Amino acid sequence: MSLDRNCGGETMNSLSQLISSCACRSRNRHGERRLFAFKSLRSYRTCLRELRTAGYRPHKQLDEQGIFSLTIDKRRSLREIARHTGIRYVEKDVKARAHSLRRKTPSIRASGNTGRAPWNIQQVQAPLVWPLTRGSGIRLAVLDTGIAAHPDLKIAGGINTINGRSYRDDNGHGTHVAGIAAGTGFKRLKGMAPRISLYAVKVLDESGSGYVSDIVEGIDWCIRNRVQVMNLSLGLPPGEDSQALREAVRRALRHGIVIISSAGNEGKSAESLDAPARYAGVLAVAASTKKGKIAGFSSRGSGLACAAPGLNIRSTWLRGGYKTMSGTSMAAPHAAGGAALLLARMPRLLPHQISRAFGISAKKLGFNVRAQGAGLLQTADALMRARAAANRVVQRPGSQGQACRQLIRKPFGGRNRPTPTLFIQQGKR
């Protein structure tokens, strides 16, 4: 390791010298990744060039934003760098982690198609929308540990922002999340929107953790590739925040991308939702149970949009298998898939309109808003609410909810099955 002991000294007259005086050329126990955001791209490029000449290689370069990540000796003060006229901010390149619970459950292999959706998909009314659309034409990205090849998943493309290699899943979490949002049912498991275009954006490593800089790069990739829905079943550790991540979320929202994020797994002890779930414009999702309760592990806090099943959810896994997992990670893709279904029928919906449709149609579970948000996601009701709002239809109070209850009373066969005329008159997409 080479380290200049005069970090922040008065003799340093260039920004690159200030930064290099605090930087580490090799790994050491005092090293910590920091993000340096520049006010101008010219200053950013100049500093990068001078750092390379001095032998320092940033871990990550976000060239469009003028930000790079570099390992700094955390014993050194960065106050002078942060006050430099060429710097917007300096912050930790925080590590995020997946929002699943660490419970050992075996992976299973299953053969044969069951012909029906899992209980969790039924509970949020996705099958009621399928006669009208299954999400065809909508691009949904799962920002996670990647997605593995699986007979119940059809991957349209993706990227690995960690090292530029394969976006294939080496953990399992991302594959599980993808199955909930987009399981095709070709072999066994149907997800919320079986015909969407699914993209794997690998921002978390094999341990289920990843740096903010990798997540920001993934979000910017989604913007460039015109993704319409992003699922982030991840969060920063409690108490941590990131301006770089917050700015990336704002950029995505300005481009009309619907952002779904898991609330966190800190339960009632949580002081707030994890980031990015607590950011303005993000649809934060809590975890509910099969019996219609809020899971004990689901983080409480202001800003929740709704709840969705997150306890004992079976979905796709590595090597073509299936696994049961729990966490708000499992709840979020229900909402992501639901948003994709709404967009497939109403492509001009904006993120705040989808959030509103989810909110006014949600089923109350008897918990306060800090635990359940508006309540349990009801996709079919949300679509009707969105269509009614778009058509400026004034209906008798309660009429839509009553119609939906009639539709879902016996949704999977039987002589008394109601005909969902609202959803079949325009054909299937």
Segment holding 347, helix H or strand E: none
Q: How far apart are CA 380 and CA 133, in angstroms?
A: 11
Q: Tell me which of 404 and 310 has the higher pLDDT.
A: 310
> Which residue shows structure tokens 């594959």?
175
Confidence of residue 114 (pLDDT cuts 50, 70, 90): low
pLDDT for position 358? 98
Structural domain ending residue among the three candidates 68, 93, 118: 93
Question: Which of 194, 262, 199 minimizes the C-alpha distance to 229?
Answer: 199
Q: Are residues 116 and 129 in the same domain?
A: yes
Q: Are residues 354 and 316 in the same domain?
A: yes
pLDDT at residue 185 tops 80: yes
CATH number where 83 lies: 3.30.70.80
In the chain, the amino acid numbered 270 is: A
Question: Which of 233, 373, 370 minimizes the C-alpha distance to 300?
Answer: 370
Give a yes or no: residue 177 inside a domain.
Answer: yes
Confidence of residue 104 (pLDDT cuts 50, 70, 90): low
Q: Are residues 290 and 150 in the same domain?
A: yes
pLDDT for position 122? 97
Cβ of 223: how many Cβ atoms within 10 Å?
Answer: 17
Average pLDDT, the chain: 88
Q: Are residues 84 and 190 in the same domain?
A: no
Q: State percent of the chain over pLDDT 70.
A: 85
pLDDT at residue 408 tops 60: no
Q: Are residues 112 and 168 in the same domain?
A: yes
Antiparallel, parallel or unpaired: β 229-232 and 283-288: unpaired
What is the arithmetic mean of pLDDT over 37-55? 94
pLDDT at residue 134 tops 60: yes
pLDDT for position 412? 31
Confidence of residue 107 (pLDDT cuts 50, 70, 90): low
Non-local CB neighbours of 109 within 8 Å, separated by 6+ positions: 320, 321, 322
Q: How far apart are CA 389 and CA 354, in angstroms?
A: 11
Instruction: Give the pLDDT confidence of 23-36 residue by residue, as tens digits.
Output: 887 677 889 999 99
Give a yes or no: residue 4 inside a domain.
Answer: no
Q: How far apart are CA 275 and CA 122, in angstroms?
A: 29
Q: Are residues 226 and 87 in the same domain?
A: no
pLDDT at residue 1 tops 50: no
Give a yes or no: residue 1 inside a domain.
Answer: no
Q: Are residues 210 and 126 in the same domain?
A: yes
CATH number where 219 lies: 3.40.50.200
Confidence of residue 90 (pLDDT cuts 50, 70, 90): very high
Confidence of residue 379 (pLDDT cuts 50, 70, 90): very high
Give a yes or no: residue 224 inside a domain.
Answer: yes
Structural domain ending residue among the three candidates 93, 125, 156: 93
Q: State percent of the chain over pLDDT 90.
A: 78
* Enzyme catalytic residues: 144, 173, 329
pLDDT for position 109? 61
pLDDT for position 401? 46
Q: Are residues 264 and 176 in the same domain?
A: yes
pLDDT for position 74? 86
Give a yes or no: residue 426 inside a domain.
Answer: no
Structural domain ending residue among the three candidates 71, 93, 115: 93
Give a yes or no: residue 103 inside a domain.
Answer: yes
- Rounded to a whole number of angstroms, the distance between the first and last alpha carbons of the chain is 59
pLDDT at residue 18 tops 80: yes
Q: How far, rounded to the nearest angstrom, does the alpha carbon of residue 155 sit from its chain's CA centroid?
A: 17
Q: Which of 71-85, 186-200, 275-289, 413-427 has the lowest mean pLDDT?
A: 413-427
Q: How far apart are CA 293 and CA 6, in angstroms?
A: 57
Q: Are residues 350 and 396 in the same domain?
A: yes
Q: How far apart are CA 381 and CA 128, in angstroms?
A: 9
Q: Are residues 61 and 103 in the same domain?
A: no
What is the arithmetic mean of pLDDT over 207-236? 98
Give a yes or no: residue 26 inside a domain.
Answer: yes
CA angle (70 as vertex; 69, 76 as ends), nearest 5? 125
Q: Tell me which of 414 and 193 has the higher pLDDT.
A: 193
Instruction: Give the pLDDT confidence of 288-336 residue by residue, as tens digits.
Output: 999 999 999 999 999 999 999 999 999 999 999 999 999 999 999 999 9
Q: What SS3 class is residue 95?
A: strand
Give a yes or no: residue 50 inside a domain.
Answer: yes
Q: Are residues 42 and 153 in the same domain?
A: no
Would you call the peptide bond into 333 cis, given omega within 30 degrees of 0 as the criterion? no
Query: Structural domain of residue 53, as residue ranges?
Result: 15-93
pLDDT at residue 3 tops 60: no
Number of domains in the chain: 2
Q: Are residues 120 and 211 in the same domain?
A: yes
Non-local CB neighbours of 91 within 8 Å, separated by 6+ positions: 34, 35, 37, 242, 243, 244
